[in-house]
Amino acid sequence: MLSSPLLGDMPAKMADGSDIPCDFEAMRRMARRRLPRFAFDFIDGGALSESALSRNAAALDAVRLLPRVLTGATARDQRTELLGQQFAAPFGIAPIGMANLVRPGTDLALAHAAARAEIGYTLSTAGTTALEPIAEAAPRSWFQLYVGRDPAITDDLRRRADIAGYPVLIVTADVPAPGKRLRDLRNRFTLPLKPGLGMALDLMRHPGWALAIATGGAPRFANLEAYSPPGSSTQSLAELMAGQSSARLDWDLLAKIRERWPRKLVLKGVLRPDDARRAIAIGVDAIGISNHGGRQLDASVAPIEMIAPIRDAIGGNVPLIVDGGVRNGEDIARCLALGADFVLLGRPFLYSVAAMGGARGPAALIDMLRDELDRAMAQLGCARIADIDATLLYERPGAAPDSCGGPLK
């Protein structure tokens, strides 16, 4: 049996006899075994040579923390307030496109798991479940908006999110054009799926996945079905979704969205301090620091590298939400110490569903992350999330070496 203060006792084996994954890499390995190659590569891959993907994780690994001792942090509280909502932990599920490629029902499984655990969940425009049933199933969820080429579609998606009562709208800014993802090109991955000999053999090696898709339905861009003629094919929906990668979003249009959206607004995909300041001047309520998981610009700086510069530029009153390369609870602590208020994870949650199923995987990952964060807080001497701050950084970005652990007294 496996045991931890938050996870409790867990069986040592899955139903099929495989070991219970107990960390990010174990879940990823299991997901790789259980998914066809084209599906795993779509989830796992990045742009071009995937150096941005590697850089995201390497930048996190480079952040070293300096623990406090004798603080008496015997009881630790992860509760976090963000944009008027209370969360049980300072992390949530990032907007994920094509989630049901892992297995039918993944979007709803993630939304339900987040609601039960009282963590954040964001549905993507590119989600494979429509925004209305997600809002009904998990009313605290957020919605992420792609500003595409067609203004009428963008306006109607915003209107639908408003009517459905989403408390937060995230506008994604870092998709002016689709990223070039070589794994998808090599696998000839398209929608609808067009199996060649290699893909057919791959599907034969993964009969469980093939059966689930055959019985549960192939993934579709459900949020866009309302804008296609009745009976439109998956291919036409995919073409419509491709149009949501557009450079049409500019500062004037963001200001109009701000005027029309009645609740909290987040701009996601920001990496420059000057862009963050300008967004705040328009009235954005929070900044999302992200390079789209390394899936867009391979030469991009890692989001973790920009948390401290953006925090210094905008001050402490505007929340910072960060994603990119986060794998465990210590990574979450690193982000918070650098100045982030909230952390989003995407790929790990898809791995969890592929590895353990929609009913068990996301809940197990949430428990795992909370347990790892709790252990990190204990080691760092932090009783509350607010205690995880820049004084824990061994080397503050841009600071002199003698400033380790905060200002000298």
Q: Is 292 a catalytic residue?
A: yes
3 state DSSP class of 204 = helix
Question: How far apart (Å, rounded) are the C-alpha atoms in residues 122 and 140?
Answer: 9
Q: Which of 55, 292, 360, 370 is catalytic?
A: 292
**Which stretches within 76-228 are classed as H helix?**
106-117, 131-137, 151-164, 182-187, 197-205, 207-216
CB atoms within 10 A of CB 400: 8
What single string gives the DSSP state of each residue in 241-294? HHTTS-TT--HHHHHHHHHH--SEEEEEEE--HHHHHHHHHHT-SEEEE--GGG
Tokens representing residue 52 in the block:
């941005």
Which residues make Cβ contacts (< 8 Å) with residue 15, sequence separation at least 6? none
Q: From CA 125, how far away is CA 167, in angstroms rounded? A: 16
Q: How is the chain split among helix, strand and coil, in percent rounded to 5?
A: 45, 10, 40
- 314: left (phi > 0), else alpha (psi -120 to 50), else beta? alpha
Name the one residue in this structure whose structure tokens are 């607004």: 265
Catalytic residues: 292
